[in-house]
Amino acid sequence: MKVRIQKKESEKQAGHGSHSPYDQKRLHKFHARLQKNRAGKRNRVQSRMRSATKMKVPDVSFKDRTGYCYLDPNGNVPACPHGPCILLGRKSRSGKVIDRKFVCAVFRKGECDFSCPVAEDGSLTVPEASVSTVDSGGLKKSAPFRKIYKSIKRLSAADENLFYCKTCNDAVSSTHTHSVVGPLKKTQFRKPSVLFSLDDSKSSKAQFWFSEDCLRVLDDIISDNDFDGVLCIGTPTVFEFIQCDPERRARLKSFLLDLDGRFGAFYRSTQFAQYSMLVDHFYNALSLKKVNQYFKSVQKLVIICDPPFGILTEPLLRALEKLQDRYRLTDAS
């Protein structure tokens, strides 16, 4: 419509005369419609802004835990069924720390009731036992490395169709007693995040799978900056994106650190370690050695981290600093 108006204005300047009543009526309707569209757009923007102000405030209970802040532990650190604990301090209105205690570093909304008070002299009152409403075994011990591919090899040799059992976290046959997913191709086991049930609980793992578009943006950034190593912390879909493509796998050396021990059944010990990121804890004693070996093989490393929802940033930054220090030490040696 704008082109047509300009054309008629040029015709007028060229001596074709003024607009006819019919053209003036059409022009008036166009301006009225334009004003209506602009008003509608303003109303939609204002409506979205009003909706945004009414959005539910996210639960960040772990972030302050009734005024608690992160404290750097000195000396012994107690452990609950889910690994080493995190030290929190509660501040008074004047800013003085009046209460210190160790709590679970994994579960943040009461699933684990472990609480170890710290006295003024630094002594600990470790509870005899703690009650957990979640399975601690799944967190403390990763599945045997590459277990699934051993099962795939056995089933393929017997000419069996492949299925995945979420209960056993293993490749099984159609006669398996539990509910299964399948039949599947061997290549489908390269993406365990597709087979898993996503644990999006904001109080613990808060798992989030990256979209294909997001993964490609990350890949462009990695490529443009000439990184040859990618340490994936809590980002299994980034790790899968690299491993599933021969070109990316040849170009990039990747390692996955994640709290979810199920990934161990799909990967080698040189690819995966079960890890609690807030306390920089490896659940397998040999995993730290494997990570250091990985660091030695990398010239330029990038860390891609997806931290749990609503966590304190201080312990996370300290854990990242420790990983960076290990990388620098291996680089120096």
257 near 273, Cβ under 8 Å? yes
Answer for the pair 205, 275: CB distance below 8 angstroms, yes or no. Answer: no
How much of the chain exceeds pLDDT 70, in percent? 71
pLDDT of residue 110: 67
Name the pLDDT band for 3 (thresholds 50, 70, 90): very low
Query: How do residues 178-225 score in pLDDT, each as one tens digit?
Result: 989 889 999 999 999 889 866 555 444 545 678 889 999 999 999 999
Rounded to two decimals, the pTM is: 0.73
pLDDT (0 to 100) of residue 47:
55
Ranked by mean pLDDT, the top range of 56-60, 162-166, 173-177 is: 162-166
DSSP E strands in 187-280: the ranges are: 229-233, 253-258, 272-276
Q: What is the pLDDT of residue 330?
A: 84
Model confidence pLDDT, tens digit, residues 273-327: 999 999 999 999 899 999 999 999 999 999 999 987 777 889 999 999 999 999 9
DSSP E strand stretches across the chain: 68-70, 79-80, 83-84, 86-91, 97-103, 115-117, 162-165, 170-172, 180-184, 229-233, 253-258, 272-276, 281-282, 301-305
Phi and psi angles of residue 224, each rounded to the nearest 5 degrees, phi first: -65, -25
Q: State the pLDDT confidence band at 16, using cuts at 50, 70 and 90.
A: very low
> In the numeric block, which tokens belong to residue 270?
């040189």
